[in-house]
Structure 1
Amino acid sequence: GKYDGVKHDAEWASAICGVPVEKITWFAREIGKKKNVWLLHNFAAARCDACENVPQLFMTLGAMGGHMGKPGNCTANNYHANAGNGGPALVKGGSSGYPSQKNEIDGVIPGPQVWEACLTGKYRMVGDWYSGKGSQAGEDRTCDIHCIIHDENAYLQTGPNMKRGIEAHRKMDFVLSKAQFMTTQAMYSDIVLPVTTQWEVPGGLSASNREFLFCFSQVTEPLFEAKTDVEINSLIMEAIGVDPKTVYPISPKQAFFNSIAGATVIADDDSGKYVPLVTVTEADLKEWGVEGKTQTGRVGLNEFVSNGGYQVERKKDDKYSSFLGYGSFIKDPEKNPLKTKSGKFEITCQAKADLFNSIGLCDHTYAPYPEYLVPGTGYETTFKDGKIDGEKGEYPYLLFNPHYFRRSHSVFDNCPWLREAWANPVFLNASDAKEKGIEDGDTVRVWTKYGEVLRKACCMENLMPGEVGIPHGSWVRLNEKTGIDEGGADNYLTGNNISGCGVTSYNNNNCNFEKYDGPALEDDCYTDARILNLG
């Protein structure tokens, strides 16, 4: 409490997070300097209002315990490539040969503001992450949006404030979607262009860790009237008088080949250099019908494609296992300074505070040091006066949206077998449910100030009291008469709360619930899965 007069001890933390004081004390001792510790986090916290200090808080814990740059220790996110197997890529894909395109529009609308921008013509420009420029000082701007085009996203379904999103779509002069199924945004579009899956295109490369390069390739010709993204975009460009060759000067197959031919792998010696991954012969060039040069690599072209990629052989204690993030800095900070103003880990970072304060997306005044921020929507706001020992308010429960077995985000939610196997209930604490006369399988109405949904109850002893879970990604099924979503879409309940550099609040919304007094909800597997029969 040196800076703000509040004693931030285990008792203070326990009252907010619900973890007993003795467990907090035990945890603090467990992550001390005397032990090797892996501090790993996933991304749930990043989907909470007022969470933008969490990375700095987390890094501070790692620095205090000495869990960076030493064998047996790490402070990182829980992805394979960023934690236990970090370091430079051992195998890398090549360039496709498609030219990069300049975006003439410099305005970028933060995600939670996009539907309001469509409806009101106002947004706050805070930077462009996709261009690599990152965050910038906030600037209020205006826009006049008449058209929405959905390319390869599912933002109406997976983005916040879906109810306002549907209103925005209905306000537009024109909405276009590329889709493989009747997705939520396709359902609210004027025109839906059937686009191919990755199984119907020549192929491509991807990577999720440093030692394996994935290669997927075509398994079937495009079905029905589906066209590839390249074909659709080329036809649109032709229609508006733009030469498609300015964007796609080569064929998709040539681009696929180029990415393979340009792939490299770490050399077998200790030079640290990269060598060609794939052998290409004259016969290969003739068989593929592409332009290119012959080369000698570690694996044949057809073998690489048929294997679905390439795995760098790993052995215990091989030279690739010696990588330690920040290892050289920890070993000699003077000779190996970091790219910070001080050259060190900055627990106190004025640049962070200045940037967040200049963005101006919320009422917080950010300090240079990491501190707990009381969220504008979170646990504290489940109470009438915002005080955690006070009276509960209009929305006394904390709503979060766990990822769920039935789908990947929103993908596969229309699969009949998965809809039958996983019911997509609302998760309730058993004691909370009992107080309201709710049992397993009862139809429950859950509502926030943004919308309301119906779900069947799943009452759980291992869910904390005061918590309500609506699984993420269920396709909306809006009852136009009642205004209630009967599909259980989590984002029909979320709003456009935003903070920091553009953090979206998904996992700490406020809600209420009750046993529904209307007709019982039908199981999802018996409802419309939006599967179109075009025969």
Structure 2
Amino acid sequence: MTGNVDKSGAMVSDMSGQMVCNGGSALVAVGGEGRSEYATTDPVANTFALSAAVVPNDGLFGVTSQQKWHAVYDGSYHNGKWGQREIDIRCIWDIGRGNKLNSEPDTLLGIKAFRKVEFVVSCDCFLNTTAQYADIVLPMVMQWEHPANFSHTSNRETLTYCAHVIAPLFEARSDYEINRALAERLGFDPDELEITEEEIFANQIQGATVIKEGGFTKKVGSGAVGPGGATTEDMVDPDFEKLLTITAEDWAELGFPDREPQEGRIPLRQFLKDGIYQVPRTEGDNCGYIALEAFVEDPVANPLNTESGKLEIYCRQLAEVVDIYGSYSISPIPKYEPPQEGYEATFSDFENRVKGPYPLQLESPHSLGHHSSQLDNCRWMQEAHANVAYVNPLDAQERGLSQHDPVKIYNGRGALVRAIKITPRVVPGVVLVADGGWTDYDEELEVDFGGNPGVLTSSDPCGCDIQPWNTINVEMEKWDGPFDHDIDRPLRVIELGD
């Protein structure tokens, strides 16, 4: 509608965020891991796909991410338009999944779910919220203790290597090793089930590919083109070549003397020394990407993956697919849809503008002090970027609040306590509390002193498997109870002794 489709730099594409506004497929990529693929018959796997090729049916839907705590605690889950289904979950094996109890909505229900099951196993380097409520916490390796691997990146032009710096300290293991050890204790031979992490790395470097110096020989504006996880076999795509030259001596040092040497653009030793490879770029090198370019030039020969093969302003298929979730409906024509806990929901009588019991909207942006829940337990970051609640002066004045006052932010689900920073940069009626604060829930006072917005969120379905983070309807009042700033609270650490 704005005339930006097929324009360089406009990034009219669903890949703009994923690829850091760079767009297009990878210009350099590691090879495939070469791992075994096992079929699964998991009856509650979330296998539903927004695709015309999938015919939705009862049982295909599965447990959505925001329903998992309900599935554990209530013994049932919402199966889209087919209604509730019963389920009996008795163990939570939380290995290699991050700090989910803290990072997912409805943290307080998640805690109840952890306590309901018979057994919870977690692993981490730190006593975060998920580890805190687990029955057994297995020690996880730090990145520099992990076997050699590659950093996950959304930059299509670079490949980053993560070296193995030191051997794991004490009894720490990677999640991969933990799963292999479990298989062995269950009576399986891990080597028959899965390759090692060292073999994965060898497969990835052997199959790594890079765009040739001439760039693409075909239009790449209609869809994904490029390696995107090549196998260890030679690339069939004529636009790509092997990235790494690997000698017999290299393979021997890596512990794979039987692998064949190969020729590539740069020596393996140089790549491991530099730790990164950047594809050389020049103006007009034919390595750029313009979304939908081929479609605009010839819509008939390059149809889109839509019902009509065109850009759809009226999208019947999308509306019907969303309706299958059974908890939310959208119009096939784009228009404003009031969110479940948006501006309208702050009123008990919206037509007459009568405010309700929770007249504020709480949003949870990312923080400069921590990435999701990572680094929240770090003194330096707590000092540099205090995790405060940002409040508009009008809302503060209405509630008799002064700068830096501790406040209780609450709704019918939970409450948290934060010091406030009053600033006109926040819209009236809105409160900001960054995501990721480690939950420190006082069950006697029924408040979270860790500043985790997850204690305020619901886990109710709100659209097609969308998690309910922004916004949350809340109220706020001055807190007269005990309070310490994060910088003054004890760090959550475990003393191992001598």
Q: TM-score, normalised by structure 2?
A: 0.88
Contact 2:66 2:461 in 1 (8 A): yes
Contact 2:20 2:155 in 1 (8 A): no
Structure 1 CA distance, aligned partners of 2:379 and 2:44? Answer: 41
Q: Please name the residue that 1:150 is paired with.
A: 94
Q: Per-residue displacement from partner, 1:457-499 (whole Å, max 9, x unpaired)?
A: 1111111100011110000111121111111111011111322
Amino acid across the alignment from 1:379: Y
CA separation of 1:450 and 1:80: change in aligned 2, threshold 3 A: closer
2:137 aligns to what SS in structure 1? strand
Structure 1 range deviating more: 298-307 or 263-272: 263-272
1:372 maps to 2:336: yes
Structure 2 CA distance, aligned partners of 1:409 and 1:374? Answer: 27
CA separation of 1:253 and 1:176: change in aligned 2, threshold 3 A: same
Once the two structures are superposed, the pairs formed by residues 390-469 of structure 1 within 5 Å of their partners are 390-469=353-432
Q: Please name the residue that 1:85 is paired with.
A: 22
Structure 2 CA distance, aligned partners of 1:334 and 1:87? Answer: 21
Once the two structures are superposed, the pairs formed by residues 67-216 of structure 1 within 5 Å of their partners are 67-76=4-13, 79=16, 82=19, 84-108=21-45, 109-125=63-79, 140-152=84-96, 153-205=98-150, 206-216=152-162
1:148 aligns to what SS in structure 2? strand
* 1:229 Cα offset (Å): 1.9
Structure 2 CA distance, aligned partners of 1:207 and 1:435? Answer: 46
- Stretches of structure 1 that go unaligned for 5 or more consecutive residues are 1-63, 127-136
CA separation of 1:176 and 1:84: change in aligned 2, threshold 3 A: closer
Structure 1 range deviating more: 213-222 or 495-504: 495-504
* 1:377 Cα offset (Å): 1.6
Q: Please name the residue that 1:238 is paired with.
A: 184
Contact 1:76 1:83 in 2 (8 A): no
1:518 maps to 2:477: no
Structure 2 CA distance, aligned partners of 1:482 and 1:107? Answer: 37
323, 332, 336: which is aligned to 2:298? 332
1:66 maps to 2:3: yes
Structure 1 range deviating more: 207-216 or 187-196: 207-216
295, 298, 303: which is aligned to 2:270? 303
Structure 1 range deviating more: 329-338 or 457-466: 329-338
Structure 1 CA distance, aligned partners of 2:422 and 2:139? Answer: 41
1:294 maps to 2:261: yes
| Aligned length, in residue pairs | 456
Structure 1 CA distance, aligned partners of 2:322 and 2:21? Answer: 31
Contact 2:125 2:141 in 1 (8 A): yes
Contact 1:121 1:143 in 2 (8 A): yes
* 1:104 Cα offset (Å): 2.9
Q: Please name the residue that 1:130 is paired with.
A: none
Amino acid across the alignment from 2:201: F
Structure 2 CA distance, aligned partners of 1:139 and 1:264? Answer: 47
1:149 aligns to what SS in structure 2? strand
CA separation of 1:500 and 1:80: change in aligned 2, threshold 3 A: closer
- Stretches of structure 2 that go unaligned for 5 or more consecutive residues are 46-62, 218-237
Amino acid across the alignment from 1:97: G
Q: Per-residue displacement from partner, 1:280-339 (whole Å, max 9, x unpaired)?
A: 101101111114210010111121122112111001222213x32111221232333223
Structure 1 CA distance, aligned partners of 2:316 and 2:448? Answer: 45
2:160 aligns to what SS in structure 1? strand
Q: Please name the residue that 1:229 is paired with.
A: 175
Contact 1:91 1:312 in 2 (8 A): yes
Structure 1 CA distance, aligned partners of 2:146 and 2:423? Answer: 45
Amino acid across the alignment from 2:270: E
Q: Please name the residue that 1:259 is paired with.
A: 204
Q: Please name the residue that 2:471 is paired with.
A: 508
Amino acid across the alignment from 1:102: A
Structure 1 CA distance, aligned partners of 2:472 and 2:164? Answer: 43
Higher helix share goes to which structure? 1
Amino acid across the alignment from 1:303: Q
Amino acid across the alignment from 2:282: K
Structure 1 CA distance, aligned partners of 2:149 and 2:311? Answer: 39
Structure 2 CA distance, aligned partners of 1:455 and 1:232? Answer: 38
CA separation of 1:162 and 1:105: change in aligned 2, threshold 3 A: same
Structure 2 CA distance, aligned partners of 1:333 and 1:509? Answer: 42
Structure 2 CA distance, aligned partners of 1:261 and 1:78? Answer: 28
CA separation of 1:102 and 1:178: change in aligned 2, threshold 3 A: farther
Structure 1 CA distance, aligned partners of 2:453 and 2:250? Answer: 50
1:384 aligns to what SS in structure 2? strand
Contact 2:12 2:291 in 1 (8 A): no
Structure 2 CA distance, aligned partners of 1:534 and 1:246? Answer: 36
Root-mean-square deviation (CA, aligned residues, Å) is 1.8
1:75 aligns to what SS in structure 2? coil
1:320 maps to 2:287: yes
CA separation of 1:165 and 1:84: change in aligned 2, threshold 3 A: closer
Structure 1 range deviating more: 193-202 or 180-189: 193-202
Contact 1:81 1:87 in 2 (8 A): no
Structure 2 CA distance, aligned partners of 1:234 and 1:78? Answer: 35
Q: Please name the residue that 2:51 is paired with.
A: none
Contact 1:279 1:298 in 2 (8 A): yes
Q: Please name the residue that 1:384 is paired with.
A: 348
Q: TM-score, normalised by structure 1?
A: 0.82
1:530 maps to 2:492: yes
Q: Per-residue displacement from partner, 1:371-396 (whole Å, max 9, x unpaired)?
A: 21122221100001243x51100000
Q: Per-residue displacement from partner, 1:64-111 (whole Å, max 9, x unpaired)?
A: 112111234332458466475222221111012221232331313212
1:445 aligns to what SS in structure 2? strand
* 1:269 Cα offset (Å): 3.5
Structure 2 CA distance, aligned partners of 1:175 and 1:320? Answer: 48
CA separation of 1:77 and 1:416: change in aligned 2, threshold 3 A: farther
CA separation of 1:72 and 1:470: change in aligned 2, threshold 3 A: closer
* 1:230 Cα offset (Å): 2.5
Structure 1 range deviating more: 336-345 or 140-149: 336-345
Q: Please name the residue that 1:284 is paired with.
A: 250
* 1:251 Cα offset (Å): 2.7
Contact 1:477 1:486 in 2 (8 A): yes
CA separation of 1:395 and 1:80: change in aligned 2, threshold 3 A: closer
1:504 aligns to what SS in structure 2? coil
